[in-house]
Amino acid sequence: MKRIESDSNPSVKQWKKLLTRKEREKTGTFIIEGPHLVEEALSYNADIKHLIVEENFPLPESWDTGRIPVWQVTEKIIKTLSETEKPQGVVAVCGMTDSENLDLSSKSKLVLIDGVQDPGNLGTIIRTADSAGVDAVILGEGTVDVYNGKVMRSAQGSVFHIPVVKMNLKEAVESCKKSGITVYATSLKDSSDMRDIQPAEGFALLVGNEGSGVQEAWLKEADEKLIIPIFGKAESLNVAVATGILLYELQRTRK
């Protein structure tokens, strides 16, 4: 284990830059923090480039760090690399997965995201999609960066369980149609009550921006528009909650 004591160390300075989207995209790497996320990354063979631990952090014996470089650093350095109020002593630098190679035609349950802006919402959608057994999550243009720290923390490791990839939604919808997957979009207008349809075995659920919903351009392409009935006085549901309700409704007979 190598040791770094100065927060002006060039590696530390470089890692810190990964808290910006620009640097993440330039380098193809991102930061995760906290023992739970690091453990998920290790368990699911994520591409961990560096493991950075505070001097007092007890490295669990069950962690197989193999050939990953492990750096012991000061509490101050961990704080520099953390975005949370109470850093938990461990941070990792990971490489992004190559999303170019995702073959959508091999997937039968998808979530497509059109412009979700809040990192907590995106992370929660990814966690929910994973729970509901979805095969991949597609991020359309205008969606918040999945490698944002808040997204990572809300997703609680689900980004390491299923592919989460950026893709043009037009292409994604066309690909679904080619493979015979039904595209359902959430919409408050001209839509069917989710409980009244007979869900398709293979489906893509398209959800949209917190304020404006799914864009008209994609709504037009959907096979069916769905609405969750509102029994009370709220105008709508949070997008992550709506995604959860719909994913379970669409799989109401899944065993």
- Binding footprint of a second copy on the chain (CB under 8 A): 120, 124, 127-134, 154, 156-158, 161-162, 195, 228-238, 240-245, 248-249, 251-252, 254
Return the ∠ at Cα 110 (arms to 109 and 113), rounded to 5°: 160
Residue 53 tokens read as: 């631990």
Asked if residue 105 lies in contact with residue 179, where contact means CB atoms within 8 angstroms, the answer is yes
**Sign of the torsion angle spanned by Cα atoms 128, 129, 130, 131:** positive
Choose among 114, 107, 69, 73: nearest CA to 90: 73
The DSSP code for 221 is: T
Integer Cα distance of 7 and 70 in angstroms: 16
User: Residue 87 CB: number of other CB atoms within 10 A?
Assistant: 18
Shortest Cβ distance from residue 43 to a second copy (Å)? 10
Shortest Cβ distance from residue 93 to a second copy (Å)? 23
Integer Cα distance of 2 and 213 in angstroms: 49
Integer Cα distance of 189 and 10 in angstroms: 54
First to last CA, the chain: 47
User: Residue 237 CB: number of other CB atoms within 10 A?
Assistant: 15
Nearer of residues 29 and 121 to a second copy, judged by Cβ: 121
Integer Cα distance of 136 and 112 in angstroms: 9
